[in-house]
Amino acid sequence: MTKAKITNEEALAFHLEPTPGKFEIAATVPMTTQRDLSLAYSPGVAVPCEAIAENPALAYDYTNKGNLVAVISNGTAVLGLGNLGALGSKPVMEGKAVLFKRFADVNSIDIELDTEDPEAFINAVKLMEPTFGGINLEDIKAPECFIIEQRLKEEMDIPVFHDDQHGTAVICAAGLINALHISGKKIEDVKIVLNGAGAAGIACIELLKAMGARHENCIICDTKGVIYQGRTAGMNQWKSAHAVPTDLRTLEEAMKGADVFLGVSAKGAVTQDMVIAMAPNPVIFAMANPDPEITPEEAHEVREDAIVATGRSDYPNQVNNVLGFPYLFRGALDIHARAINDEMKIACAHALAALAREDVPDEVALAYGKSLSFGRDYIIPTPFDPRLIHRIPVAVAKAGMDTGAARRPIIDMETYELSLKSRMDPTASILRGLNARARTAQSRMIFAEGDDQRVLRAAVTYQRSGFGKALVVGRQDDVKQKLEEAGLGDAVSELEVINAAITPHLDTYKDFLYSRLQRKGFDLKDVHRLAARDRHVFSSLMLAHGHGDGLVTGATRKSAHVLDRVNHVFDADAAHGAAGVTALLHKGRIVLIGDTLVHEWPDENDLANIAERAAGVARHMGLDPRVAFVSFSTFGYPVSERAEKMHLAPAVLDQRGVSFEYEGEMTVDVALNAASQDAYPFSRLTGPANILIVPARHSASISVKLMQEMGGATVVGPILSGVDKPIQICSTTATANDILNMAVLAACDIG
């Protein structure tokens, strides 16, 4: 399987399009009428202002303080890039803000402070306390980060958390709990060697000591060797606190007989000889990024009994901070915590460790393309485990309440856990699952329109993302020129470019096409022109003959034209049961609408066919289908000949005995709104519909485009269903990312 590759151009384009940066601010209240403005601002806003002035705790009720975290840096230690300055750190801080939102629904704003003076930094952050529910410090160099965090924790009454220190420490601790469990050792007995006495290293060792590791069993090394009692070179108060009486002077000496190695240092710091010298069942957390102190392959080559973790996603057991900080803050914010204390961090570590020991949900295994079960190669949960959001914050909140850190304790923990489950957008896990299935399928994807830069960018991304092989239909020199114009000149040699002039199969294609079209008014010259000059037909012929596994087209011509061309090769029309289903993703919901592509004016039997096709697409996407046949009437009122077929279609499904929920006819609000459904207790739907079958293609098109333009919905599709091979037809307005999504759907054979 090809590893994902990201170019500089792609990274810059990602941050530039569709708008500069990675997030925006959106209002959560209506702001349309004069009354709305009067309530949101003057004079209505005066009422909560006075209430908060009298009782500051009400800020958590009347403002966004209770779900708002500041991500703050001065850019003195940006990733592994060094001191890039405050402005140079902004893309990272924006990224951290969107991770907070994506993984734990925590609103976050990035703040970059242009100072290297700890006092100035501390004063600036302190002054912002009324605004935020918590402070996440990031990418501040040591030892200033220790001074800044300690002072802010002492002087502020909201959680202050330096993720480079404690985020790494929490995930490291979680992994170590399970590694020791597997090796049959206890934390109070093991000899631990830490290499790297910076922010993360010191935090790791302090947390492990808080969990029971003995001071005398922990040896810390830095670039000058072992930190021992009496050493003066390169010391500071934080290192001195962990100095031990020992004759050991080098990392090599310290590693002899060690049970655990923790590395937050540099590539290659650990040799195979050092690993050989470790105790039985050694635990090696080589967390240097981007390259570990020793690779898992190198360690396992000399010690099969080693349990190895790294900071990289392409190895098992990734020590990834995203497993910690979103959920720590989620739990802390939800109890209006004064701080994130050691007990809360330890609770987070134990909850993560416990989760890794449980059976792994199928969707997680699917997302990673392999079966996962607790053991030497799976001691830490994966970042995309859907259980994290409702398991880790609960443990953190309980610990905060037990230790007196909570201003507002949670009374009903069961209800709290349910509320956490509902916070997360299910569309993210569905799309992630589709991506994983595409990677597993490794489909050879035919991109029919190799003369379009968007298509070429999608093809390059498809291949570099590890989904499979991209086959581009076009002229080699034209493809080369357009890739170079897109800043992707290095991808020319990666893509396979195909056209009628160079394929050895053209005669076979023409014979096949003639056999299909000879009684439909096409002669041999027509067939030659279609096969040799029409890229939609040529691409369809490639697919029909197994010279590709899926097809994406339609970015340059209207869908009706493209579908007509596809029908020369495949039976992709209404008579053969094909249908177009479009997915709308909006505010955490997915709703499928059909038919958006094939049927112009379906009757009740066609509508039943479309419903079955849509239900199949829904199941492929991991949804439990609930179909509503929608109209302007609900269960017969108002009476209309136009709505009659929507009333008859469910009866057709009754006769077919299908295995999904369906009901109709009904208006859209009754289909989608649970409160509106309560007025019809006899309805067979057990909840809001996720599939809407509309009366005609024009109403489907209007609905989708209205939601896209006015509602801001993300549109995926139309997904062509009911054809023998995976074919997806894009919109002419599709972006490169839209085209890539359609390729992923084709690779998953969603239709």
Look at residue 675 and give its three-state secondary structure: helix
CA dihedral 206, 211, 212, 213 (to 10 degrees): -40
Can you tell me which residue has the tokens 């084709």? 746
| pLDDT for the residue 313 | 81
Distance of CA 641 to the CA centre of its chain: 46
**Distance, CA of 337 to CA of 282 (rounded, Å):** 38
Check pLDDT > 60 for residue 141.
Answer: yes
How is residue 2 annotated by DSSP? P
Residue type, 537: V
**CB-neighbour burial class of residue 46 (10 A; exposed 0-12, middle 13-18, buried 19+):** exposed
**Distance, CA of 646 to CA of 294 (rounded, Å):** 65
| pLDDT for the residue 363 | 64
For 138-168, what is the HEC assignment?
CCCCCCHHHHHHHHHHHHCCCCEEEHHHHHH
Is 41 a catalytic site residue? yes
Check pLDDT > 50 for residue 1.
Answer: no
- pLDDT tens-digit readout, 102-132: 889 999 999 999 999 999 999 999 999 999 9
| pLDDT for the residue 8 | 80
| pLDDT for the residue 368 | 65
Nearest to 121 by CA among 151, 93, 142: 151
| pLDDT for the residue 2 | 43
Which run of H or of E encompasses 59?
A: helix 59-62
**Residue 626: φ, ψ to 5°:** -130, 110
> Choosing from 3, 5, 22, 41, which is the catalytic residue?
41
| pLDDT for the residue 736 | 87
**Distance, CA of 750 to CA of 565 (rounded, Å):** 21
Distance of CA 31 to the CA centre of its chain: 31
Check pLDDT > 90 for residue 528.
Answer: yes
Check pLDDT > 70 for residue 362.
Answer: no
**Residue 122: φ, ψ to 5°:** -60, -45
- pLDDT tens-digit readout, 284-316: 999 988 889 999 999 999 999 999 999 888 888
Confidence of residue 486 (pLDDT cuts 50, 70, 90): confident
Cis status, amide bond into 526, omega within 30 of 0 = no
**Distance, CA of 499 to CA of 502 (rounded, Å):** 6
- pLDDT tens-digit readout, 552-586: 999 999 988 999 999 999 999 888 989 999 999 88
- Confirm if 405 and 337 have CB atoms less than 8 A apart: yes
Name which residue leads in pLDDT, 4 or 648: 648
Nearest to 70 by CA among 154, 142, 161: 161
- Confirm if 579 and 613 have CB atoms less than 8 A apart: yes
Check pLDDT > 50 for residue 28.
Answer: yes
| pLDDT for the residue 366 | 61
Q: What percent of the chain has pLDDT over 90?
A: 74
Can you tell me which residue has the tokens 């109890």? 335
Count CB atoms within 10 A of the CB of residue 749. 15
Query: What token pair was written down for 207?
Result: 């947390």
Can you tell me which residue has the tokens 């959920």? 327
Mean of per-residue pLDDT scores for the chain? 92
Query: What token pair was written down for 71?
Result: 């991500």
**Residue 130: φ, ψ to 5°:** -60, -25
| pLDDT for the residue 488 | 83
**CB-neighbour burial class of residue 119 (10 A; exposed 0-12, middle 13-18, buried 19+):** exposed
Residue type, 615: A
Query: What token pair was written down for 614?
Result: 């849509």
Name beta bridge partners: 583. Answer: 592, 716
For 78, 140, 199, the CA distances from 84, given in Å and listed in that order, are 6, 11, 18
| pLDDT for the residue 409 | 96
> Choosing from 96, 239, 480, 725, which is the catalytic residue?
96
Which run of H or of E encompasses 563?
A: helix 559-566
Q: What is the mean pLDDT of residues 516-531?
A: 94
**CB-neighbour burial class of residue 678 (10 A; exposed 0-12, middle 13-18, buried 19+):** exposed
| pLDDT for the residue 109 | 96
Confidence of residue 492 (pLDDT cuts 50, 70, 90): confident
Check pLDDT > 70 for residue 26.
Answer: yes
> For residue 334, what are the contacts with CB-CB under 8 A and spacing of at least 6?
393, 397, 410, 416
Query: What token pair was written down for 318?
Result: 């990734």
Listed in sequence order, the DSSP H helices in 75-117 are 85-88, 90-104
124-132 long-range contacts, CB within 8 A, separation 24+: 125/70, 125/72, 125/152, 125/156, 125/160, 126/152, 126/155, 126/156, 128/70, 129/156, 129/157, 129/158, 130/59, 130/65, 131/65, 131/68, 131/70, 132/65, 132/68, 132/69, 132/70, 132/158
- pLDDT tens-digit readout, 44-67: 999 999 999 999 999 999 999 999
- pLDDT tens-digit readout, 2-14: 445 677 877 888 8
Can you tell me which residue has the tokens 């790297």? 196
- Confirm if 719 and 540 have CB atoms less than 8 A apart: no
| pLDDT for the residue 421 | 81
- Confirm if 548 and 445 have CB atoms less than 8 A apart: yes
Confidence of residue 367 (pLDDT cuts 50, 70, 90): low
How is residue 370 annotated by DSSP? S
| pLDDT for the residue 245 | 95
Answering whether pTM is above 0.85, one says no
Nearest to 583 by CA among 724, 422, 738: 738
- pLDDT tens-digit readout, 156-203: 999 999 998 899 999 999 999 999 999 999 999 999 999 999 889 999
Which run of H or of E encompasses 513?
A: helix 506-517
| pLDDT for the residue 158 | 96
Is 416 a catalytic site residue? no
Query: What token pair was written down for 198?
Result: 């910076």
Check pLDDT > 70 for residue 426.
Answer: no
Nearest to 656 by CA among 607, 722, 721, 598: 607
Can you tell me which residue has the tokens 């449980």? 358
- Confirm if 349 and 174 have CB atoms less than 8 A apart: yes
| pLDDT for the residue 145 | 92
